[in-house]
């Protein structure tokens, strides 16, 4: 069975940015907490996706 992340939304992107800013969690820990692929977390944190969204 293939494991899939939920679609990345502005709300999830904001949660990623908030966790990165307010905690010491690493990208893979944020991904695990939000049931996402670590690559999606990286895309948000580097500004490749949802750069206009604030934490």
How does pLDDT run across 1-48, given as a tens digit for each residue?
A: 556 767 899 999 999 999 999 999 999 999 999 999 999 999 999 999
Q: What DSSP state is assigned to residue 8? A: P
User: Is position 37 within any domain?
Assistant: yes
Token pair 């490749």 is found at 48
The domain in which residue 18 lies consists of 10-45
Stated pTM of the model: 0.88
Contacts with 20 (C-beta within 8 Å, 6 or more apart), sequence order: 27, 30, 45, 55
Q: How many domains does the chain have?
A: 1
CB 17 within 8 A of CB 55: yes
Assess if residue 30 is contained within a domain: yes
């Amino acid at each position: 069975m293939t494991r899939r992340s939920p679609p990345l939304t502005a709300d999830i992107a904001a949660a990623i940015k908030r966790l990165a800013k307010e905690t010491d969690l690493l990208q893979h820990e944020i991904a695990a907490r939000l049931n996402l692929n670590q690559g999606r977390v990286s895309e948000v944190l580097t500004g490749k996706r949802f750069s206009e969204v604030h934490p």
